[in-house]
Amino acid sequence: MTRTLEAAEKMGIPFKAQEKFIDPDRCKMGCDWCMLGCPEGARWTTREYVDEAVAYGADLLHSTKVEKVILTDNKSRVLGVGLADGSIIRGDNIILAAGGIGSPALLLRSGIKRLGSQDVGTNFSMDPMNIILGFSKDSDGGMWGVQTFTHAIESLADSEGFLIGNCAALGTYMVNSSFRLNSALKTWYRGPIIKRGIGLFVKLSDEPHGVIQANEKTNKPFTELDNKRMDKGTDISKEILISAGADPSSFSILKWAGGHPGGTIAMGKAVNKDFSTEVQGLYVCDGSLMPVSPGVPPSLSIDGMSKLLGKILSGQVKAEQRFVKKKGKRATAAVIIQ
Protein backbone atom coordinates (compact mmCIF):
# COMPACT_ATOMS: atom_id res chain seq x y z
CA MET A 1 0.00 0.00 0.00
CA THR A 2 2.79 2.39 0.98
CA ARG A 3 4.54 1.81 -2.36
CA THR A 4 1.37 2.69 -4.26
CA LEU A 5 0.91 5.88 -2.27
CA GLU A 6 4.55 6.83 -2.84
CA ALA A 7 4.37 6.06 -6.57
CA ALA A 8 1.38 8.38 -7.05
CA GLU A 9 3.03 11.06 -4.91
CA LYS A 10 6.08 10.99 -7.18
CA MET A 11 3.81 11.36 -10.23
CA GLY A 12 2.36 14.54 -8.68
CA ILE A 13 -1.11 13.03 -8.11
CA PRO A 14 -1.13 12.12 -4.39
CA PHE A 15 -3.76 9.92 -2.79
CA LYS A 16 -5.89 11.37 0.00
CA ALA A 17 -7.18 9.31 2.94
CA GLN A 18 -10.95 8.79 2.64
CA GLU A 19 -13.53 9.27 5.35
CA LYS A 20 -15.53 6.10 6.05
CA PHE A 21 -18.77 5.18 7.84
CA ILE A 22 -16.85 2.94 10.25
CA ASP A 23 -16.54 2.73 14.02
CA PRO A 24 -12.73 2.45 14.37
CA ASP A 25 -13.01 0.82 17.80
CA ARG A 26 -14.89 -2.18 16.34
CA CYS A 27 -13.15 -2.41 12.95
CA LYS A 28 -10.70 -5.31 12.71
CA MET A 29 -7.23 -4.71 11.30
CA GLY A 30 -6.48 -6.83 8.22
CA CYS A 31 -10.15 -7.27 7.28
CA ASP A 32 -11.46 -6.35 3.80
CA TRP A 33 -15.10 -7.47 3.87
CA CYS A 34 -16.75 -4.03 3.89
CA MET A 35 -18.46 -4.50 0.52
CA LEU A 36 -19.89 -7.88 1.53
CA GLY A 37 -21.25 -6.81 4.91
CA CYS A 38 -19.34 -6.31 8.13
CA PRO A 39 -18.91 -9.34 10.42
CA GLU A 40 -17.94 -7.06 13.32
CA GLY A 41 -20.87 -4.64 13.13
CA ALA A 42 -18.37 -1.80 12.72
CA ARG A 43 -19.70 -0.43 9.43
CA TRP A 44 -22.54 2.04 9.74
CA THR A 45 -25.44 1.70 7.33
CA THR A 46 -28.62 3.69 6.82
CA ARG A 47 -30.54 0.59 7.94
CA GLU A 48 -29.97 1.89 11.45
CA TYR A 49 -32.50 4.63 10.62
CA VAL A 50 -35.01 1.91 9.70
CA ASP A 51 -34.52 0.27 13.10
CA GLU A 52 -34.99 3.69 14.71
CA ALA A 53 -38.22 4.28 12.75
CA VAL A 54 -39.54 0.85 13.79
CA ALA A 55 -38.66 1.64 17.40
CA TYR A 56 -40.84 4.76 17.07
CA GLY A 57 -43.74 2.64 15.83
CA ALA A 58 -43.30 2.49 12.03
CA ASP A 59 -44.52 -0.67 10.28
CA LEU A 60 -41.82 -2.41 8.21
CA LEU A 61 -42.99 -5.00 5.67
CA HIS A 62 -40.24 -7.47 4.71
CA SER A 63 -40.15 -9.25 1.33
CA THR A 64 -43.04 -7.16 0.03
CA LYS A 65 -42.43 -6.21 -3.59
CA VAL A 66 -44.13 -3.06 -4.79
CA GLU A 67 -45.25 -3.47 -8.38
CA LYS A 68 -46.63 0.00 -9.07
CA VAL A 69 -47.97 3.25 -7.70
CA ILE A 70 -51.78 3.44 -7.69
CA LEU A 71 -53.03 6.75 -9.07
CA THR A 72 -56.33 8.50 -9.66
CA ASP A 73 -57.75 8.01 -13.18
CA ASN A 74 -56.30 11.31 -14.41
CA LYS A 75 -52.93 10.49 -12.74
CA SER A 76 -52.98 13.75 -10.79
CA ARG A 77 -52.76 12.22 -7.27
CA VAL A 78 -51.45 9.08 -5.57
CA LEU A 79 -53.80 6.65 -3.83
CA GLY A 80 -51.27 4.08 -2.63
CA VAL A 81 -49.05 1.29 -3.94
CA GLY A 82 -49.96 -2.01 -5.59
CA LEU A 83 -47.99 -5.06 -4.40
CA ALA A 84 -46.81 -7.96 -6.53
CA ASP A 85 -49.37 -10.26 -4.84
CA GLY A 86 -52.18 -7.98 -6.11
CA SER A 87 -52.99 -6.31 -2.78
CA ILE A 88 -52.99 -2.53 -2.29
CA ILE A 89 -51.60 -0.38 0.51
CA ARG A 90 -53.30 2.98 0.56
CA GLY A 91 -51.58 6.24 1.48
CA ASP A 92 -51.79 9.98 0.84
CA ASN A 93 -48.02 10.34 0.35
CA ILE A 94 -45.70 7.91 -1.43
CA ILE A 95 -41.91 8.39 -1.33
CA LEU A 96 -40.17 6.47 -4.10
CA ALA A 97 -36.79 5.21 -2.86
CA ALA A 98 -36.15 2.11 -4.98
CA GLY A 99 -32.94 3.50 -6.51
CA GLY A 100 -31.87 4.84 -9.90
CA ILE A 101 -33.18 1.75 -11.72
CA GLY A 102 -36.06 0.58 -9.51
CA SER A 103 -37.79 3.95 -9.04
CA PRO A 104 -38.15 4.91 -12.73
CA ALA A 105 -39.18 1.35 -13.59
CA LEU A 106 -41.93 1.55 -10.94
CA LEU A 107 -43.20 4.79 -12.43
CA LEU A 108 -43.17 3.34 -15.96
CA ARG A 109 -45.13 0.29 -14.73
CA SER A 110 -47.58 2.77 -13.16
CA GLY A 111 -48.20 4.47 -16.51
CA ILE A 112 -46.12 7.59 -15.73
CA LYS A 113 -43.89 8.05 -18.76
CA ARG A 114 -43.03 11.69 -18.28
CA LEU A 115 -42.59 13.94 -15.24
CA GLY A 116 -41.85 17.67 -15.59
CA SER A 117 -39.49 18.07 -18.52
CA GLN A 118 -38.02 14.55 -18.44
CA ASP A 119 -39.04 11.24 -19.98
CA VAL A 120 -38.92 8.88 -16.98
CA GLY A 121 -35.96 6.51 -17.08
CA THR A 122 -33.81 8.56 -19.47
CA ASN A 123 -30.66 10.55 -18.55
CA PHE A 124 -29.21 7.38 -16.98
CA SER A 125 -25.69 7.57 -15.56
CA MET A 126 -23.99 4.92 -13.42
CA ASP A 127 -20.47 5.97 -12.29
CA PRO A 128 -18.84 3.00 -14.10
CA MET A 129 -15.52 1.55 -12.92
CA ASN A 130 -12.55 -0.21 -14.41
CA ILE A 131 -10.86 -2.37 -11.76
CA ILE A 132 -7.21 -3.02 -12.49
CA LEU A 133 -5.41 -5.81 -10.67
CA GLY A 134 -1.68 -6.51 -10.90
CA PHE A 135 0.65 -8.77 -8.94
CA SER A 136 3.79 -7.53 -7.25
CA LYS A 137 7.15 -8.84 -8.41
CA ASP A 138 8.14 -8.99 -4.71
CA SER A 139 6.52 -11.44 -2.34
CA ASP A 140 5.80 -8.67 0.19
CA GLY A 141 4.64 -5.98 -2.27
CA GLY A 142 0.91 -6.75 -2.37
CA MET A 143 -2.05 -4.97 -0.75
CA TRP A 144 -2.82 -7.87 1.57
CA GLY A 145 -4.62 -7.21 4.83
CA VAL A 146 -5.62 -3.65 3.98
CA GLN A 147 -9.04 -2.17 3.35
CA THR A 148 -10.32 -1.24 -0.10
CA PHE A 149 -10.95 2.45 -0.93
CA THR A 150 -9.11 3.87 2.05
CA HIS A 151 -7.35 6.32 -0.29
CA ALA A 152 -8.24 8.10 -3.52
CA ILE A 153 -6.72 10.51 -6.01
CA GLU A 154 -9.35 13.24 -6.01
CA SER A 155 -7.39 15.88 -7.92
CA LEU A 156 -8.34 14.50 -11.36
CA ALA A 157 -12.10 14.47 -10.70
CA ASP A 158 -12.83 17.97 -11.97
CA SER A 159 -10.23 18.15 -14.74
CA GLU A 160 -10.45 14.58 -16.11
CA GLY A 161 -13.81 13.32 -14.83
CA PHE A 162 -12.52 10.34 -12.84
CA LEU A 163 -11.40 9.27 -9.39
CA ILE A 164 -8.74 6.62 -8.73
CA GLY A 165 -8.94 4.55 -5.53
CA ASN A 166 -7.05 1.62 -4.00
CA CYS A 167 -8.34 -1.97 -4.13
CA ALA A 168 -6.96 -4.56 -1.71
CA ALA A 169 -5.68 -7.96 -2.84
CA LEU A 170 -8.38 -10.30 -1.54
CA GLY A 171 -11.48 -8.42 -2.71
CA THR A 172 -10.00 -7.47 -6.08
CA TYR A 173 -8.86 -11.03 -6.77
CA MET A 174 -12.37 -12.29 -5.99
CA VAL A 175 -14.05 -9.67 -8.18
CA ASN A 176 -11.68 -9.91 -11.16
CA SER A 177 -11.68 -13.71 -11.14
CA SER A 178 -15.45 -14.15 -10.96
CA PHE A 179 -17.61 -11.52 -12.65
CA ARG A 180 -16.39 -11.39 -16.28
CA LEU A 181 -14.77 -14.15 -18.31
CA ASN A 182 -12.19 -11.84 -19.86
CA SER A 183 -10.68 -10.72 -16.54
CA ALA A 184 -11.32 -14.11 -14.87
CA LEU A 185 -9.12 -15.94 -17.41
CA LYS A 186 -6.22 -13.61 -16.57
CA THR A 187 -6.74 -13.78 -12.81
CA TRP A 188 -8.01 -17.04 -11.30
CA TYR A 189 -4.85 -19.11 -11.75
CA ARG A 190 -2.85 -16.58 -9.76
CA GLY A 191 -4.63 -17.71 -6.57
CA PRO A 192 -1.41 -19.14 -5.06
CA ILE A 193 0.15 -15.65 -5.17
CA ILE A 194 -3.03 -13.78 -4.12
CA LYS A 195 -1.16 -11.92 -1.36
CA ARG A 196 0.90 -10.14 -4.02
CA GLY A 197 -2.21 -8.55 -5.54
CA ILE A 198 -2.32 -4.77 -5.84
CA GLY A 199 -5.33 -3.08 -7.35
CA LEU A 200 -6.71 0.28 -8.30
CA PHE A 201 -10.12 1.31 -9.59
CA VAL A 202 -11.02 4.16 -11.92
CA LYS A 203 -14.46 5.57 -11.22
CA LEU A 204 -15.84 7.71 -13.99
CA SER A 205 -18.38 10.50 -13.92
CA ASP A 206 -20.12 9.32 -17.10
CA GLU A 207 -22.36 11.15 -19.54
CA PRO A 208 -26.12 10.57 -19.02
CA HIS A 209 -26.93 8.55 -22.12
CA GLY A 210 -28.72 5.46 -20.87
CA VAL A 211 -32.34 4.36 -20.50
CA ILE A 212 -34.25 2.23 -17.95
CA GLN A 213 -37.17 0.08 -19.05
CA ALA A 214 -40.32 -0.85 -17.09
CA ASN A 215 -38.94 -4.37 -16.47
CA GLU A 216 -35.74 -2.80 -14.97
CA LYS A 217 -33.60 -3.74 -17.94
CA THR A 218 -31.00 -1.11 -18.76
CA ASN A 219 -29.52 0.23 -21.95
CA LYS A 220 -26.31 2.15 -21.29
CA PRO A 221 -24.16 3.15 -24.26
CA PHE A 222 -20.88 4.83 -23.32
CA THR A 223 -19.90 7.90 -25.29
CA GLU A 224 -16.63 8.73 -27.01
CA LEU A 225 -15.78 11.07 -24.11
CA ASP A 226 -16.55 8.33 -21.55
CA ASN A 227 -14.23 5.93 -23.40
CA LYS A 228 -11.47 8.52 -23.70
CA ARG A 229 -11.60 9.38 -20.01
CA MET A 230 -11.77 5.76 -18.87
CA ASP A 231 -8.78 4.85 -21.07
CA LYS A 232 -6.77 7.73 -19.59
CA GLY A 233 -7.64 6.76 -16.00
CA THR A 234 -6.73 3.13 -16.70
CA ASP A 235 -3.38 4.11 -18.22
CA ILE A 236 -2.53 6.31 -15.22
CA SER A 237 -3.52 3.48 -12.85
CA LYS A 238 -1.29 1.00 -14.67
CA GLU A 239 1.59 3.48 -14.49
CA ILE A 240 1.12 3.84 -10.72
CA LEU A 241 0.96 0.06 -10.24
CA ILE A 242 4.08 -0.56 -12.34
CA SER A 243 5.92 2.13 -10.42
CA ALA A 244 4.75 0.45 -7.16
CA GLY A 245 6.33 -2.85 -8.27
CA ALA A 246 3.56 -4.67 -10.17
CA ASP A 247 4.47 -6.98 -13.03
CA PRO A 248 2.81 -5.43 -16.14
CA SER A 249 2.24 -8.88 -17.66
CA SER A 250 0.03 -9.77 -14.66
CA PHE A 251 -2.62 -7.09 -15.23
CA SER A 252 -6.29 -8.01 -15.50
CA ILE A 253 -9.00 -5.39 -15.93
CA LEU A 254 -12.66 -5.76 -15.04
CA LYS A 255 -14.19 -3.21 -17.39
CA TRP A 256 -17.22 -0.94 -17.01
CA ALA A 257 -18.51 -2.34 -13.72
CA GLY A 258 -21.66 -0.45 -12.75
CA GLY A 259 -21.56 1.75 -9.69
CA HIS A 260 -24.25 4.21 -8.75
CA PRO A 261 -27.31 4.29 -11.04
CA GLY A 262 -28.91 7.71 -11.16
CA GLY A 263 -30.26 10.67 -13.10
CA THR A 264 -33.38 8.81 -14.23
CA ILE A 265 -35.92 11.01 -12.39
CA ALA A 266 -33.66 14.02 -11.98
CA MET A 267 -34.20 16.89 -9.59
CA GLY A 268 -34.65 20.09 -11.61
CA LYS A 269 -36.17 18.16 -14.52
CA ALA A 270 -38.68 15.60 -13.22
CA VAL A 271 -38.66 16.39 -9.51
CA ASN A 272 -39.00 19.71 -7.67
CA LYS A 273 -36.49 21.04 -5.15
CA ASP A 274 -38.69 19.87 -2.29
CA PHE A 275 -38.64 16.29 -3.70
CA SER A 276 -42.29 16.61 -4.81
CA THR A 277 -43.54 15.95 -8.33
CA GLU A 278 -46.43 17.19 -10.43
CA VAL A 279 -48.40 14.19 -9.11
CA GLN A 280 -49.86 15.22 -5.76
CA GLY A 281 -48.46 13.12 -2.90
CA LEU A 282 -45.68 11.55 -5.00
CA TYR A 283 -42.12 12.22 -3.79
CA VAL A 284 -38.79 10.78 -4.95
CA CYS A 285 -35.72 10.46 -2.71
CA ASP A 286 -32.85 8.27 -3.94
CA GLY A 287 -30.05 8.22 -6.51
CA SER A 288 -32.57 8.78 -9.35
CA LEU A 289 -32.57 12.45 -8.35
CA MET A 290 -28.89 13.10 -9.11
CA PRO A 291 -29.00 15.46 -12.11
CA VAL A 292 -25.49 14.43 -13.19
CA SER A 293 -23.23 11.48 -12.47
CA PRO A 294 -21.41 12.32 -9.20
CA GLY A 295 -18.40 10.11 -10.01
CA VAL A 296 -18.06 9.39 -6.27
CA PRO A 297 -20.14 7.32 -3.83
CA PRO A 298 -23.46 9.19 -3.39
CA SER A 299 -24.43 7.56 -0.07
CA LEU A 300 -23.73 10.61 2.11
CA SER A 301 -25.66 12.86 -0.32
CA ILE A 302 -28.65 10.49 -0.36
CA ASP A 303 -28.52 10.28 3.43
CA GLY A 304 -28.51 14.10 3.60
CA MET A 305 -31.36 14.36 1.07
CA SER A 306 -33.46 11.88 3.06
CA LYS A 307 -33.01 13.87 6.25
CA LEU A 308 -33.89 17.05 4.37
CA LEU A 309 -37.08 15.49 2.96
CA GLY A 310 -38.01 14.37 6.47
CA LYS A 311 -37.60 17.95 7.68
CA ILE A 312 -39.60 19.34 4.75
CA LEU A 313 -42.46 16.86 5.28
CA SER A 314 -42.55 17.57 9.00
CA GLY A 315 -42.60 21.33 8.36
CA GLN A 316 -39.19 22.11 9.91
CA VAL A 317 -37.68 23.40 6.64
CA LYS A 318 -39.05 24.94 3.47
CA ALA A 319 -37.45 24.29 0.08
CA GLU A 320 -37.08 28.07 -0.44
CA GLN A 321 -34.78 28.19 2.58
CA ARG A 322 -32.19 26.12 0.75
CA PHE A 323 -29.40 27.92 -1.00
CA VAL A 324 -26.89 26.66 -3.53
CA LYS A 325 -23.45 28.21 -3.78
CA LYS A 326 -21.43 27.49 -6.91
CA LYS A 327 -17.83 26.50 -6.26
CA GLY A 328 -15.76 25.79 -9.36
CA LYS A 329 -17.55 23.22 -11.48
CA ARG A 330 -19.22 21.66 -8.45
CA ALA A 331 -22.08 23.02 -6.43
CA THR A 332 -22.44 22.85 -2.69
CA ALA A 333 -25.86 22.94 -1.10
CA ALA A 334 -26.80 23.83 2.40
CA VAL A 335 -29.99 24.00 4.40
CA ILE A 336 -30.85 26.85 6.70
CA ILE A 337 -32.65 25.40 9.69
CA GLN A 338 -34.43 27.82 11.96
- When the beta carbons of 31 and 70 are compared against ligand SF4, the nearer one is 31
Residue 186, CA distances (Å) to 146, 176, 252, 321 in order: 23, 9, 6, 54
Residues 112-151 that bind ligand SF4 (CB under 6 A): 147
Residue 121, CA distances (Å) to 27, 81, 98, 111, 235 in order: 39, 19, 13, 12, 33
Question: Does 34 help bind ligand SF4 (rule: CB under 6 A)?
Answer: yes
Task: In angstroms, give the least distance from the CB of 243 to ligand SF4.
Answer: 27
Residues 223-282 that bind ligand SF4 (CB under 6 A): none
Question: Does 184 help bind ligand SF4 (rule: CB under 6 A)?
Answer: no
- When the beta carbons of 21 and 222 are compared against ligand SF4, the nearer one is 21
Binder of ligand SF4 out of 5, 8, 38, 170 (CB under 6 A): 38
Question: Does 51 help bind ligand SF4 (rule: CB under 6 A)?
Answer: no
Question: Does 21 help bind ligand SF4 (rule: CB under 6 A)?
Answer: no
Size of the site for ligand SF4 (CB under 6 A): 11
97-133: buried (b, 16+ CB within 10 Å) or exposed (e) per residue? bbbbbbbbbbbbbbebeebeebebbbbbbbbbbbbbb
Binder of ligand SF4 out of 13, 27, 242, 335 (CB under 6 A): 27
Question: Does 174 help bind ligand SF4 (rule: CB under 6 A)?
Answer: no
- When the beta carbons of 39 and 248 are compared against ligand SF4, the nearer one is 39
CB burial class (10 A; 0-12, 13-18, 19+) of residue 234? Answer: buried
Question: Does 43 help bind ligand SF4 (rule: CB under 6 A)?
Answer: yes
Query: What SS3 class is residue 42?
Result: coil
Query: What SS3 class is residue 21?
Result: coil
For 4, the enclosing helix (H) or strand (E) is: helix 2-10
Half-sphere exposure (Cβ direction) of 171: Cα atoms closer than 13 Å: 21
Question: Does 318 help bind ligand SF4 (rule: CB under 6 A)?
Answer: no
Contact residues toward ligand SF4 (CB under 6 A) are 22, 27-28, 31, 33-34, 38, 40, 42-43, 147
